[in-house]
Amino acid sequence: MARRTAARNRRRARPESGESLTEQAYRALEEQIVTLEIPPGTVVSEAILAARLGFGRTPIREALWRLARERLVTIIPHRGIIVSEINIKTQLRLLELRREIERLVAAQAAKRASEAERKQLDAIVGGMEAAAAANDDRAFMRLDREYNEVTVAAARNEFAASAMALLQGLSRRFWYLHYKEAADMPLAARLHAEVARAIARGEVEAAKKASDRLVDYIENFARATVGLD
Amino acid sequence: MARRTAARNRRRARPESGESLTEQAYRALEEQIVTLEIPPGTVVSEAILAARLGFGRTPIREALWRLARERLVTIIPHRGIIVSEINIKTQLRLLELRREIERLVAAQAAKRASEAERKQLDAIVGGMEAAAAANDDRAFMRLDREYNEVTVAAARNEFAASAMALLQGLSRRFWYLHYKEAADMPLAARLHAEVARAIARGEVEAAKKASDRLVDYIENFARATVGLD
DNA sequence: TAGGAAGATATTGCCTGTATATTGCTGCTC
DNA sequence: GAGCAGCAATATACAGGCAATATCTTCCTA
């Protein structure tokens, strides 16, 4: 059914993938920026990225616009695009907001999580503790991401979900930059586990307190990177 | 200084305004959707809006994309665009998040507002009480918007600011739809005034509590529109 | 040599044409 | 009459080009 359009394919464009090129471009760019593959401060242009990623300018432009709203890049009209610098003070302001949303998410997840989600959380924090013991940072990051996805989904609030998604990229990038100097993975795993346990038991107040302790740790981690503690 | 491009001007495009067409299109559309000039459920298309507002398809497309992220419209690929319906349950979930951010903003504003901002807040809530007494809903809405702008600016947190901005459009649209049935303007004015007063005095805990009471009112207002209280 | 004007260069803003996807309609078949 | 195949209509997705504009460079002038 319907002839292939393979003749027009770019390196990785996949028309039958069901995902728009804009979406693909966004994911690719977000990944490269968050993992520091494109370092902070890099100046790029739509044309450069379009050539580099093998997309047209339109998907790249829309992806960049979205990244700009997430503060991962800054678009300067008629000048170019700068990958945002990472700044400790900015990070602390971000955590001010994240603390509130994280607490809300924990509380609502404790109220609303399904049985399957509670079990899933349990498995994830188990994996985190194992990854921390084995000092496997890649696995830890992947599990942290899963943990966030599950709790946010369990909280059943699409607004909190998108607000958190917005903050995650910037938070993860900061972590990528500094975790080698200052991260205490076993402690982080334990704090995650405490939140997860409270959620699993449906203990709302305990979940809130545990969430605050977790963000306390993240905040201390951030401060430690500049010795402001 | 380059010849005029007046020959190509649309009805209201103003190249020398310093504001991009995308920005203009966004503001125009947001205004029309929030004020219900374009009613919920309306099906539109890029082409229709481009013709109607006198912009090209590109600015309209980018504006719609932003509105979709704010959940004011839903874009269905290859199908069309629907102006989102207004839903009480959605509104209550929105308020769950807004309560947390509003409280944070009030607390930080109490800590960080400048002398000028504290005076400005005072003037605004004075005006609100006058507008409520005179039953002037237009003035009340304008002042409410100003109140939010000032407190958010005083909180000195760009992340909280953009999160709030995201929620404001949906909140205001709900208010536009229902204020005639269920709003108690004098009470709303008084509750705003209590938050403002606590901020002006720098009383953080009082500001948090007052903020919660304000959101309690907004939540009750929302519930009252469907008699769920 | 310092300062400034004018052109060169690079980049985004915006437009418009073409490709693609979804849906509803129409007519054929059983 | 019901159901399905195929076609037409219409919408967004994407590409690529031109225009506007911000900066950089060069060269002229005092």
pLDDT given at position A19: 86
Instruction: Using CA coordinates, name the residue in chain B closest to A71.
Output: B159
Is the CB of A198 less than 7 A from some atom of nucleic acid strand C? no
Answer yes or no: do B104 and A93 touch at CB < 8 A.
Answer: no
Q: Which nucleotide is nearest to A76 (CA to C1')?
A: C12
**Please, how many CA atoms are within 13 Å of residue A99, restricted to the half-sphere of its CB?**
19
Answer yes or no: do B100 and A103 touch at CB < 8 A.
Answer: yes
* Residue of A97, A156, A160 with shortest CB distance to B159: A97
Which of A156, A159, A208, A211 to substitute to test the interface with B, most B CBs within 10 Å?
A: A159
Q: How confident is the model at residue A220 (pLDDT cuts 50, 70, 90)?
A: very high
8 A C-beta contact, residue A168 and residue A104? no
Residue A155 contacts by C-beta under 8 Å, 6 or more apart in sequence?
A: A104, A105, A106, A108, A109, A112, A161
pLDDT given at position A13: 34
Contacts of A101 in chain B (CB under 8 A): 97, 100-101
pLDDT given at position B182: 86
* Residue of A93, A104, A108 with shortest CB distance to B158: A93
Answer yes or no: do A100 and B103 touch at CB < 8 A.
Answer: yes
* Residue of A62, A71, A163 with shortest CB distance to B65: A62
Written as one letter, the residue type at A15 is P
CA of A1 to C1' of D7 (A): 15
Which range has the worst mean pLDDT, A7-16, A124-133, B204-213? A7-16
Is the CB of A5 less than 7 A from some atom of nucleic acid strand C? yes
Percent of chain A with pLDDT over 70: 91
Q: Write the pLDDT tens digit of every residue in B157-191.
A: 999 999 999 999 999 999 999 999 888 999 999 99
Q: How confident is the model at residue A226 (pLDDT cuts 50, 70, 90)?
A: confident
Q: Which nucleotide is nearest to B16 (CA to C1')?
A: D20
Tokens of B117: 């901002």
Which of B97, B174, B204 to substitute to test the interface with A, most A CBs within 10 Å?
A: B97
pLDDT given at position B227: 67
Distance from CA of B44 to the nearest CA of A (A): 21
Distance from CA of B186 to the nearest CA of A (A): 29
Written as one letter, the residue type at B49 is L
For strand D, give the nucleotides within 7 A of a protein CB.
10-17, 19-23
Q: Which residue has the tokens 């491009």?
A: B5
Tokens of A61: 């432009």
8 A C-beta contact, residue B164 and residue B153? no
Q: The pTM is what?
A: 0.89
8 A C-beta contact, residue B131 and residue B105? no
pLDDT given at position A14: 36
pLDDT given at position B228: 52
Burial of A14 (0-12, 13-18, 19+ CB in 10 A): exposed
Q: Write the pLDDT tens digit of every residue in A169-189.
A: 999 999 999 999 888 999 999
Is the CB of B12 less than 7 A from some atom of nucleic acid strand C? no
- Looking at the predicted structure, is the pLDDT value of residue B14 above 80? no
* Residue of A103, A157, A163 with shortest CB distance to B163: A163
Q: Write the pLDDT tens digit of every residue in B190-224.
A: 999 999 999 999 999 999 999 999 999 999 999 99
Answer yes or no: do A159 and B20 touch at CB < 8 A.
Answer: no
Q: Which residue has the tokens 């308020």?
A: B95
